[in-house]
């Protein structure tokens, strides 16, 4: 294979019989642009010590490499951040790094061209993993432990490593721990975060606890998703650290049985304006039996660009942010007929104008 010097793409992924690669083989493929080394186990380079540093050194020698798909195993979380490592990551146009146990990774939707890191079934007891956040767009933690300690470590070294400006998506799936209240973050650690998805977090009362720990202000947040978070009471507290969600476009909440309102406002902050959600277009709510409000100050919230609302099995939600300002923008409302009939309206003109957009949701056995 070392004679294939013009080879541009090499896929060795999911080959269960292949466990080692001769040292020098990969580095001899000088024109390689895409390399796939992902699978059910971590490939090792024969002749090297087996340490992740030695294995990455072999790959880092490929000057034309633009995409790397690789399972790095558990040891990648202990790597020391170096300038050479960071500069190498910058040169890659795309990458998918898988850290932890070689198990199935949920195919979360991503943008084409993302630089992604997946942590799977791994204990992160304070390891310094900032090199995996640097130059990365998409970060997913699945069935991991010690996230609270790991995030504290990121904050503690904030002055040294700075914020992670490239991270746009953060996903956490299945986590039983909690996040620290308050933060020592002098920097907003993820200032350009656009998407946050939290599912099956059993001790999460609201996303503000995570935001507080990392110093997040959510000024660029466009999409927020919660699924099966049994202790969730509300999504985000607005008015203190997080003043508004001007970029937010899409809210999706499913199977959060204790949630009572979507947003909690700081009543002492009189500067809050009606236009807290100027770009919100889609609200999708399902299986939230205690949900009563979009927020307690429902009359003071305007969503002038709201287009779609879907409500399923949220029987206590009686009022939506539907006003004369967004009557012309609403395209679609879905829900049970009984729920629709019991909705409260600011006036009949709004109800009559929006009624043609309503589609009754029918459950099929």
| 173 contact partners, CB below 8 Å, separation of at least 6 | 106, 140, 141, 142, 143, 197, 199, 200
pLDDT digits (tens, 9 = 90+) for 329-362: 999 999 999 999 999 998 899 999 999 999 998 8
Q: pLDDT band at 110, cuts 50/70/90?
A: low
- Among 7-11, 51-55, 257-261, 358-362, which range has the highest average pLDDT? 257-261
pLDDT digits (tens, 9 = 90+) for 118-170: 888 887 765 667 778 888 999 999 998 888 888 888 887 776 777 899 999 99
The predicted model scores a pTM of 0.89
| 7 contact partners, CB below 8 Å, separation of at least 6 | 29, 31, 32
> Alpha-carbon torsion 104, 109, 115, 121, what sign?
negative
Does the pLDDT of residue 305 top 60, yes or no? Answer: yes
| 224 contact partners, CB below 8 Å, separation of at least 6 | 195, 196, 197, 207, 235, 236, 248, 250, 251, 252
* 110-116: average pLDDT: 73
């Amino acid at each position: 294979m070392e004679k294939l010097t013009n080879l541009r793409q090499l896929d060795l992924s999911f080959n269960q019989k292949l466990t080692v690669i001769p040292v020098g083989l990969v580095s001899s493929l000088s024109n390689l642009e895409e390399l796939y080394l992902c699978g059910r186990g971590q490939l090792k380079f024969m002749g090297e010590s087996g340490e992740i540093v030695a294995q990455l050194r072999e790959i880092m020698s490929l000057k034309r490499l633009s995409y790397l798909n690789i399972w790095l195993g558990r040891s990648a979380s202990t790597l020391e951040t170096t300038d050479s490592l960071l500069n190498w990551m910058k040169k890659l146009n795309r990458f998918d790094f898988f850290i932890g146990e070689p198990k199935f990774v949920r195919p979360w939707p991503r943008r084409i061209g993302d630089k992604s890191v997946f942590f799977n079934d791994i204990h992160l007891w304070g390891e310094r993993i900032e090199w995996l956040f640097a130059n990365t767009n998409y970060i997913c933690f699945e069935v991991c432990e010690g996230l609270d300690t790991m995030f504290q470590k990121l904050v503690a070294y904030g002055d040294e490593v700075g914020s992670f400006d490239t991270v746009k998506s953060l996903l956490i799936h299945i986590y039983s721990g909690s996040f620290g209240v308050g933060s020592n973050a002098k920097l907003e650690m993820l200032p350009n975060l656009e998407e946050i998805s939290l599912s099956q977090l059993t001790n999460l009362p609201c996303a503000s606890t995570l935001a507080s720990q990392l110093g997040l202000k959510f000024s660029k947040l466009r999409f927020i998703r919660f699924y099966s978070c049994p202790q969730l009471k509300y999504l985000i507290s607005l008015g203190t650290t997080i003043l508004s969600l001007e970029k937010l476009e899409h809210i999706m909440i499913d199977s959060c049985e204790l949630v009572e309102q979507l947003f909690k406002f700081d009543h002492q902050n009189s500067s809050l304006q009606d236009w807290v959600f100027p770009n919100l277009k889609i609200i999708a709510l399902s299986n939230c039996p205690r949900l009563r409000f979009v927020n307690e100050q429902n009359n003071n919230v305007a969503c002038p660009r709201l287009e779609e609302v879907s409500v399923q099995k949220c029987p206590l939600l009686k009022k939506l942010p539907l006003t004369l300002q967004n009557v012309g923008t609403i395209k679609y409302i879905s829900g049970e007929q009984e729920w629709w009939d019991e909705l409260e309206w600011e006036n009949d003109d709004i109800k009559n104008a929006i009624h043609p957009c309503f589609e009754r949701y029918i459950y099929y056995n």
